[in-house]
Amino acid sequence: MPEVTNVANLNTSNLVGRQSWVLTALSKYTKYLVTVLCFTSKGDGPKSRPVAVQTLEDVPDRIESLTFGNKIDTRLELFWTPPRRPNGVITGYLVKCRELNQSTWLVEIELPPRSINFTLMGLVAHKSYYVDIAAKTRIGVGASYVIVIESGVAPEKPEAPHEVAVNQIEATSVELRVKLDSAQSPVTLVQWIVEGECQDLLSPDQWKQLSVNSSAADSLLTVLTVSGLHPDARYRFRVSAENSAGRGNTSVPTEWIRTDASVPSFPPERLVAHVLNATALSMIWMPLPQLHWNGRGRRYALRYWTCMGSNPDKQTLETDSGESVSIVVGDLEGWTSYCIQVAACNRLGCSEFGQQESARTMESVPSSGPTDVTAETINSTSIQVAWSSVPEIHQNGRILGYRVRYRSTLESSDAVLTVWGKLRTSAVLTDLQKFTWYQITVIAFTRIGDGAASFPVATTQTHEDVSGAPSGVYFPAANESAVRVSWLPPHQSNGIITGYRIEYRAKKPNSSHPELSTSDESLGRDRNDYAVTGLKANTFYTFAVSASTRRGWGEAAVLDVYTGESRRVPVRPGRPLIGPSQIGDRWLMMTLLLAEVNNHSPIRNFTIQVKANGGQFMTHEELLPLGVNEFNISGLTPGMKYRLRLAASNDVGMSEFSEESDEVQTRFALPDHPPSVPNLAQHSYNSVLVRWEEPNSDVAWNGDKSGYRVWYRQSNAYNEELNPTGGRNFYIDENLYQSVDIMYPTTSTLISGLVPKAVFEVRVALVNNVGHGPMSSPVDIMLKEGVPSVVPEGLTAVAFGSSSIHVTWKSLPETDEEFENCLGYKVFYWAVESNGSTTQVKCVSLSENQVLVNDLRMYTMYAFVVAVFGAGGNGQNSSTPVEARTEDGLPGPPEKLTVTVTSQTSINLTWEQPGEPNGLIEGYELTYFQEKLVDGESKSVRVTLSSEKTSYHARDLMLGANYTFRISAKTRLGLGSEASSSILVGSQIGTPGAPNQLECLESDEEVVVTWNTPNSGSSPITAYILEYRNKDADLDSAEWISVRKDPLDRSSLGSQTTIGSHQLVPGAKYEFRVFAVNSQGISLPSSTTEFIFRETITRPEPVSAPQFYQRWWFLLAVGFAGFVVVVAVVAAFCISGRKRAKIASKEKSWKKRNNGESKPLPPEVDDATGFATIERRHPQLWGNQKYPRATTLPLYTRAPPRPSPGSILYDTDVISQHEDSGNVSDKASQNGDSDCESEGNHLAAFLNQSSKRPQSLCGATAPDAPAYTISLNGGHSVMPKYHTMRPTKLSSFA
């Protein structure tokens, strides 16, 4: 028995106690091994030790089958098979028999448990008996197997039901009404068998037996209830009956029906939650099997809530469609556990929500500050601050401590006091300014960083104290008996200034601390100077100026002054000195050199100016105190070049600035700031891509830009104890991290070799030539499991109608090691013509290996690929896309149907091919008709057009009638949807007015028609149409003729046009009319005007365009070609004459060798022609026959292929006459310079001289002689006459 898994819901009210679960739908009296395991979102834990358990015994099922043995009139032998499910231990069989329609049992016997047969005895012939057989266990008697049989009659299989009707349709069941044949065998049926075929199962012609319950409506009608069907599925059914003789034939299948829709059968399985960050979770689940959606409007619903609390607020999100199997939930609280469930939904509702999963968001900064912040002043320099912890819902992580930020009203930046520990809720601020208001906030921080500040801001003021010394004290005027002292309020008043006090005394030489005498203690708080008189001349006096508050007199400012007239401005100080040991990264130590000291005018302070990187001098310190010869200048920038200068000030004024110091550069320092917070993205199952941004300011580097350092580690911040020691990053231990250095300017890196399904923390810092700066805030990432590497195989796609394609592939084996990491398949598909720009997807459960892709365009080629997907993403697509074309269907309507009035009785239609042709367009069918009856009739026209036609001109329409035009495209399946438009024939709303004042003017060659421009209507006039007709003809049959085929363009011709005189008949009377045209249509016609065309006009014949052979270029070409031919012929004649002279000379030499005898020359190969030359003595004598006279005619010919003699026509009479004639001059035949040779070849001369007609060798004939013309045809002499030849005598030419 295969292993079955049940998921038990966790009893949340007893998380650590004993759990229980009830297993149902088990087999009766069956042993089971039960194991239990605990699972989380990360996977299953180990199984418990198996426990054996057996279900209880029950009554048995019905016996499997019943057959008959020897059947005679008085005895019947029964054979049966035990029940398939005994549900216990069979203790026997109960066999009963009685006559039909009788209540008394004739036989009632219990047989042993091993019995499988029994013989009924003492039956009456041809009588019907009721037989009942049932198995029995210790629990009781099971279901009976009942038959009715007639003794002595062998049973027959039942006939097929001849009428099956679907009566009632529900979501999971239908009711079938089966009508029996009245001639059925009397043998009682054992059972009805109903088979169904589900079209949505995508397994054509696969009939499956269904569960059925029967009830008899009457003797011939049975009602069958078929259950266990799928909702919202297409079915058809067939029925057969079974009796003791066996199963009969099946009925004819019913029509296709669709069951009612219902909510989805069950929720999706294997919900996986993945943590994205501190505020978002990603959920993905296994798709619901296609057959269990049970209706339209498919989608998923996700429900989530915080796992804390007894009555949480549950939120629900829904996907857009059933193809979306993942969703991201945002705006969550950090470091919070969320419970998640998912359900499948359709338009009727949702299934139950599935197994609950939980996930905790990553750590973040607190989203709220501490509460109940109070500040209490302790004294003039201390404040105690207290607060309460951050509410738990807003902590978003583990609180590591608090930061107390405080700022006085006189300062622009905050001071920070860090308090470690979540439980510490108070701190004391010390070293504060006296009598000053402070604003105080408290911030909680986690490992990730600082959270939100507390609100409202706490404020308090330190206590009042005595003031500090007045500032800026000097003596602007002094003489031998008096001085004036001036001052500014103290920098640290430490309270409310109530007044000032002046004290002075002459300075004794031997006393460094002379006693002071008070001059005046009643100076008000608004005074800032005071004059002292009655002093001794040329004497040093010591003055002390102090301020008072409500707490008493404060610190005094003590200065010396000299009474006399010798005061002057200080001498220019010497050049400042800066040694190598006096240079830091952010400070410089300057040594002061004074060129001259004037005791009578003591220096009060120095002013220092700084110039950075060659810029302008800027004042850095104005009141440098006395008594120092070195001064530390701070607040400088590392790695910056500086120059310094200073000036001295006394009571008289300020000296000139000293010379600039040598240029010195501050030392490089560690970077001040980290780069931006890194952005992390998972690259693979064990690698992360890290990106960051360079700081906006170069000052942050504090040195050469070497690069970056990336720290990372598997995050265990949930358990580690952090050490609150160190510098700015005091809670970071670099030894806990791994690091990688990246060269500048690269701002990304790939970290690989990580542990899958773990959380990693990443930080980034700047690195310069000194070292690395502070780390950035940490960023966490949880690695998803790897994407499946398995690639689906065996992909096929077959059209399933005109809008569906059936896609199948090989299932992923459950034994595959990656099966557990897979959630399903994704089928990607797109129209091939779109090149993948509109890819769609179907999500399929892992338990399926096929899908029917619906709602496709008809007669369109689609491409399909399939990939396995898991929680980590999509795997690799199947290698090559598989293509399939949907079947064709009826086309859509033609597009852009435009109806335009072209005249008062015609309309032009244009259209484009349907946007959805849904097949090959074979043509169009156009129908148009009048919308209203005229005289009880309506004209309707139907036109069939070819597929290439996209326009039609409808003529002979009724002016002023409304016509409707309907056009539809046609494929092999028939006509598709119609596109229709209606229009009024004639003038439309917005068309121009009718032209008027039509006039005709006649000239010798044309008639000019003019008119006035009418009102243009709602749009400008674009054309005019001029028509005319012969009024002398029958007006009923005379047609209006358009002057031009196309309308006239108004922009070029204006309101007139011309008619050529050749278009009119002289003396005839004509009528003219004009229409105006704009974008809305054609106007009403103008009033007609009559015009009689005069006969006296002499009209030239129409001059047609000259033919090509009358063109000058053709004549020139022909002349040039003739000249070339003539030159070629003359050249051929000259060459031929020379050859004949050469041959004649050879003949003379030959005759001399043969003592004057006339012997034929041997054959000779002509160098020019390549053929042997022969000597012809007589047309009929080709051997060595000798003539009476030694007359020879050498003949040199080069015959064309085979039929060369056929190009010469011979007259047999001429040949016979030539046999008796021997008066041809030998001289004439051998004279190569004669004129006759220039006219033709020797054959032509020979034939001419052989005629009885008086003819010279030169070809001159007598006036009464018929002409025999000799011409050259392909280089051979031809006589183009009606002579015939004897081919038997010329066969040697072949």
Q: What is the DSSP string of 47-109?
A: EPPPEEEEPPP-----EEEEEEEEE-SSEEEEEEEEES--SS---EEEEEEEETT--S-SEEE
The answer to whether 920 touches 887, Cβ cutoff 8 Å, is: no
Burial class (CB in 10 A: 0-12, 13-18, 19+), 915: exposed
Owner of token pair 């199952």: 685
pLDDT level of residue 220 (50, 70, 90 thresholds): low
- Give the confidence band of 217 by pLDDT, cuts at 50, 70, 90: very low
What is the pLDDT confidence band of residue 966, given thresholds at 50, 70 and 90? very high
575 contacts 569 by C-beta, under 8 angstroms: no
807's tokens: 């896609």
Residue with tokens 């909680």: 444
Each residue's pLDDT tens digit, 736-769: 889 999 999 999 999 999 988 888 999 999 999 9
**b/e sequence 553-589, b meaning 16+ C-beta within 10 Å:** bbbbbbbebbbeeebebbbbbebbebeeebbbbeebe
Instruction: Identify the CA nearest to 773 among candidates 708, 680, 722.
Output: 708
Alpha-carbon gap, residue 674 to 775, rounded angstroms: 6
Residue 456 preceded by cis peptide, ω within 30? yes
Q: How would you label 1162-1196 residue by residue, b for 16+ Cβ within 10 Å and e otherwise? A: eeeeeeeeeeebbbbbebeeeeeeeeeeebbbbeb
Report how far residue 10's alpha carbon sits from residue 1068's, in angstroms, rounded to the nearest whole number. 109
- DSSP, collapsed to helix, strand or coil, labels residue 735 as helix
Q: If pLDDT is split at 50, 70 and 90, which confidence band does 1098 have?
A: very low
Give the number of residues written for the chain. Answer: 1294
Average pLDDT over residues 1073-1082: 81
pLDDT at position 1023? 81
Distance separating alpha carbons of residues 271 and 359, to the nearest angstrom: 11
pLDDT of residue 691 exceeding 90, the answer is yes
Q: Is residue 1278 pLDDT above 90, yes or no?
A: no
Query: Nearest 5°: phi and psi at 1216?
Result: -65, -35
Q: How far is CA 820 from CA 5, 39, 286, 343, 734, in A?
A: 15, 14, 12, 21, 38
Q: CA 496 to CA 493: how far, in whole Å?
A: 7
Q: How confident is the model at residue 1203 (pLDDT cuts 50, 70, 90)?
A: very low
What are the E-state strand segments in 1118-1254? Answer: 1164-1165, 1172-1175, 1194-1195
Mean pLDDT lowest among 858-872, 959-973, 1139-1153, 1268-1282: 1268-1282
Over the stretch 844-872, which tens digit does the pLDDT of each residue have? 998 899 999 998 999 999 999 999 998 88
What pLDDT, in 10s, does the model give residues 416-437? 999 999 999 999 999 999 999 9
Pairwise CA distance, residues 712 & 761, whole Å: 5
pLDDT > 80? residue 980? yes
In the chain the first and final C-alpha atoms are separated, in Å, by 100
* pLDDT at residue number 593: 76
Cα angle for residues 719, 364, 439 (degrees, 5° grid): 110
What pLDDT does 937 receive? 65
Give phi and psi for 851, each to the nearest 5. -155, 145
Cα–Cα dist 42/407, whole Å: 49
Could you tell me which residues come within 8 angstroms of residue 785 by beta carbon, excluding any fewer than 6 positions away? 685, 756, 757, 821, 870, 871, 872
Helix (H, G, I), strand (E, B) or coil at 1153: helix
* Beta bridge mates, 681: 689
The predicted structure's pLDDT at residue 840: 92
- pLDDT tens digits for range 111-120: 999 999 998 8
pLDDT for the residue numbered 1222: 40
**Within 400-509, where are the H helices?**
none
Q: Measuring CA to CA, which residue among 301, 292, 290 is closest to residue 264?
A: 292
In this predicted model, what pLDDT tens digit does every residue of 994-1021 receive, in sequence order?
Answer: 888 888 877 767 778 888 888 888 888 8
Q: Which of 1118, 1098, 1120, 1102 lies closest to 1110 in space, CA to CA?
A: 1118
Phi-psi region of 635 (alpha: psi -120 to 50; beta: other; left: phi over 0): left
User: For 14, left (φ over 0), alpha (ψ -120 to 50), or beta?
Assistant: beta
Average pLDDT of 1014-1033? 80
The Cα angle at residue 24 between residues 21 and 26, in degrees rounded to 5: 130
Average of per-residue pLDDT values in the chain: 80
Angle, CA of 193, 194 and 199, to the nearest 5°: 150
Both structure tokens of 1125: 């031919």
Mean pLDDT of 1102-1124: 74
Q: Rounded to two decimals, what is the model's pTM?
A: 0.63
Identify the pLDDT of residue 1164. Answer: 45
pLDDT at 1266: 40
Cα–Cα distances (Å) from 434 to 83, 378, 438, 466, 610, in that order, read 103, 11, 11, 9, 33
Lowest mean pLDDT among 16-20, 202-206, 315-319: 202-206
Is the model's pLDDT at 895 over the cut of 60?
yes
Task: Report pLDDT digits (tens) over 1157-1167.
Answer: 444 545 444 44
| 3-class secondary structure, 174 | strand
Give dist(CA 78, CA 131) in Å, integer. Answer: 10
* Buried b / exposed e along 1114-1148 (16+ C-beta atoms within 10 A): eeeeeeeeeeeeeeeeeeeeeebbebbeebeeebe
Residues with Cβ within 8 Å of 87's Cβ and at least 6 positions away in sequence, in order, are 28, 29, 57, 58, 59, 60, 61, 137, 139, 142
Residue 548 has pLDDT above 70, yes or no: yes
d(CA 557, CA 470): 6
Tokens linked to 1290: 């010329």
C-beta of residue 351 within 8 angstroms of C-beta of residue 357: no
pLDDT at 999: 81
Whether the predicted pLDDT of 684 surpasses 70 = yes
Residue 1187 β-bridge partners: none
Region 1193-1202: what's the mean pLDDT? 42
pLDDT band at 720 (very low <50, low <70, confident <90, very high): very low
How confident is the model at residue 1220, as a pLDDT?
41
Question: Model confidence at 602, in pLDDT bands (50, 70, 90)?
Answer: confident
pLDDT tens readout for residues 259-302: 999 999 999 988 999 898 889 999 999 999 988 999 999 999 99
| Mean pLDDT value of segment 681-702 | 87
Comparing 1080 with 353, the larger pLDDT belongs to: 353
The reported pLDDT for the residue numbered 1201 is 47
Beta-carbon contacts of residue 1274 (< 8 Å; ≥ 6 apart):
1200, 1207
- Show the CA angle centred on residue 252, arms to residues 250 and 253, nearest 5°: 105
CA 403 – CA 442 distance, rounded (Å): 6
pLDDT number for residue 583: 93
Separation of CA 935 from chain center: 61
For residues 672 and 637, is the Cβ–Cβ distance under 8 A?
no
Residue 197 corresponds to which amino acid?
Answer: E
CA neighbours within 13 Å on the CB side: how many for 114? 0
- What is the structure's pLDDT at 1176? 38
Cβ atoms of 544 and 521 closer than 8 Å: no
Q: Let me know: does 595 contact 572? Beta carbons within 8 Å.
A: yes
For the cut 60, the answer to whether the pLDDT of residue 812 exceeds it is yes
Distance, C-alpha 987 to centroid of its chain? 50
Side-chain-side CA neighbours of 738 within 13 Å: the count stands at: 10
Pull the structure tokens for residue 59.
């009554």
The C-alpha atoms of residue 685 and residue 1155 are separated, in whole angstroms, by: 119
Q: Which long-range contacts (CB under 8 A, 24 or more apart) does 1046-1052 make?
A: 1047/1022, 1047/1023, 1047/1077, 1048/1023, 1048/1024, 1049/1022, 1049/1023, 1050/1021, 1050/1022, 1050/1023, 1050/1024
pLDDT at 835 over 60: yes
How does residue 545 score in pLDDT terms, banded at 50, 70 and 90?
very high
CA distance 928 to 980: 9
Q: Is the dihedral of CA 80, 84, 90, 96 positive or negative?
A: negative
| Each residue's pLDDT tens digit, 901-946 | 777 778 889 999 998 888 899 999 999 988 776 566 667 889 999 9
Instruction: Using alpha carbons, list the distances in angstroms from residue 295 to 4, 259, 607, 1167.
Output: 28, 10, 89, 99
Of the candidates 435, 373, 376, the one whose C-alpha atom is nearest the C-alpha of residue 409 is 435
Number of H helices, E strands in the chain: 6, 84
